Amino acid sequence: MRKKRTWIVIGVILALGLAGFWLVRNGLPQAQAQAARTGEVVTAFVGDLAAGTTATGQVSAGQSARLTLPASGTVAEVRVQAGDAVQAGDILLRLETAELERAVANAAQALIIQEANLAALQTPPAAAQLMAAAAAVANAQAQLDSLLAGPTEAEIASAAASVAAAQADVTAASTRLNNTRNGAGAAEIQAAQIALNQAQVAATQATEQHTTILATIQDGNAPAGMLDDAELAARVNVLQANAQLAAAQETLNRLQTGNPNDVATAQATLATAVAQRNLAQAQYELLLAPASAAQIAAAEASLAQAQANLDKLQRGPTAAQLAAAEVQVENARISLERARLNLENGTVTAPFDGVVTAAHVQPGELASGILVEMIASDDLEVVLNVNEVDLSQITPGQETTVTLESWPDDPIPGRVRAIAPAAATSVGSSLVTFPVYVTLEASERPIRVGMTANAALELARREDVLLVPNGAIQVDRSNGTYSVILVQTNTQGQPVYETIPVTIGLRDGRYTEITSGIQAGDQLLIPDPTATNPFAPGGGNGSGGRPFGG
Give the pLDDT of the chain (550 residues) as one tens digit per residue.
444 444 444 444 444 454 444 444 444 444 444 444 458 999 999 999 988 788 899 988 878 889 988 877 888 889 999 888 899 989 998 888 788 888 899 999 999 999 999 888 888 877 787 788 889 989 988 888 877 777 778 888 898 899 899 899 999 988 877 777 665 567 777 888 898 899 899 889 989 888 888 888 777 666 656 667 777 888 888 899 899 989 988 888 877 665 555 678 888 888 998 999 899 888 888 777 777 788 788 988 998 998 888 887 777 778 888 899 999 999 999 999 988 888 888 888 899 888 898 999 999 888 888 999 988 877 788 899 888 888 888 889 888 889 898 899 899 999 999 999 988 877 767 788 899 999 888 878 888 888 999 988 887 888 999 999 999 999 998 898 999 999 999 988 889 999 999 999 988 878 999 999 999 999 999 988 765 443 344 443 333 454 555 4
> Is residue 510 in some structural domain?
no
> Is residue 252 in some structural domain?
yes
Name the E strands within 360-480: 366-367, 372-375, 380-387, 399-404, 407-419, 433-440, 452-469, 474-476
In DSSP terms, 461 is beta-bridged to: 50
> Is residue 393 in some structural domain?
yes
| Co-location of 383 and 369 in the same domain | no
Please, which residues have CB within 8 angstroms of residue 272's CB and are 6 or more apart in sequence? 173
DSSP structure class, residue 69: -
> Is residue 533 in some structural domain?
no
What distance in Å separates the CA atoms of residue 85 and residue 97, rounded to the nearest whole number?
Answer: 26
Domain end call among 438, 458, 478: 458
What distance in Å separates the CA atoms of residue 341 and residue 70, rounded to the nearest whole number?
Answer: 10
| Co-location of 366 and 389 in the same domain | no
What distance in Å separates the CA atoms of residue 380 and residue 261, rounded to the nearest whole number?
Answer: 112
Instruction: Report pTM.
Output: 0.40
| Co-location of 351 and 393 in the same domain | no
- Residue 383 near residue 99, CB atoms below 8 Å: no
| Co-location of 284 and 164 in the same domain | yes
pLDDT of residue 6: 41
| Co-location of 73 and 177 in the same domain | no
Domain end call among 443, 458, 473: 458
| Other CB atoms within 10 Å distance of the CB of residue 288 | 13
What's 351's domain CATH number?
A: 2.40.50.100
> Is residue 40 in some structural domain?
no
Q: How many domains does the chain have?
A: 3
pLDDT of residue 312: 79
| Co-location of 80 and 57 in the same domain | no
Determine the 3-state secondary structure of 298 from DSSP: helix
Please, which residues have CB within 8 angstroms of residue 279's CB and are 6 or more apart in sequence? 166
| Co-location of 240 and 214 in the same domain | yes
pLDDT of residue 11: 47
Domain end call among 314, 339, 373: 373
| Co-location of 273 and 163 in the same domain | yes
- Residue 542 near residue 476, CB atoms below 8 Å: no
156-166 burial, b at 16+ Cβ within 10 Å, e below that, comes to ebbbbbbbbbb
What distance in Å separates the CA atoms of residue 155 and residue 144, rounded to the nearest whole number?
Answer: 17
Per the structure, the complete domain to which residue 427 belongs is given by 52-63+379-458
What's 426's domain CATH number?
A: 2.40.30.170
| Other CB atoms within 10 Å distance of the CB of residue 206 | 21
Element (H, E) at 167: helix 153-182
| Co-location of 70 and 166 in the same domain | no
Rounded to 5 degrees, what are φ and ψ at 530? -95, -10
CA 397 to centroid of chain Cα atoms:
37
> Is residue 282 in some structural domain?
yes
> Is residue 411 in some structural domain?
yes
What distance in Å separates the CA atoms of residue 113 and residue 116, rounded to the nearest whole number?
Answer: 5
pLDDT of residue 502: 96
pLDDT of residue 206: 86
| Co-location of 227 and 353 in the same domain | no
| Co-location of 190 and 265 in the same domain | yes
| Co-location of 265 and 183 in the same domain | yes
pLDDT of residue 182: 65
> Is residue 296 in some structural domain?
no
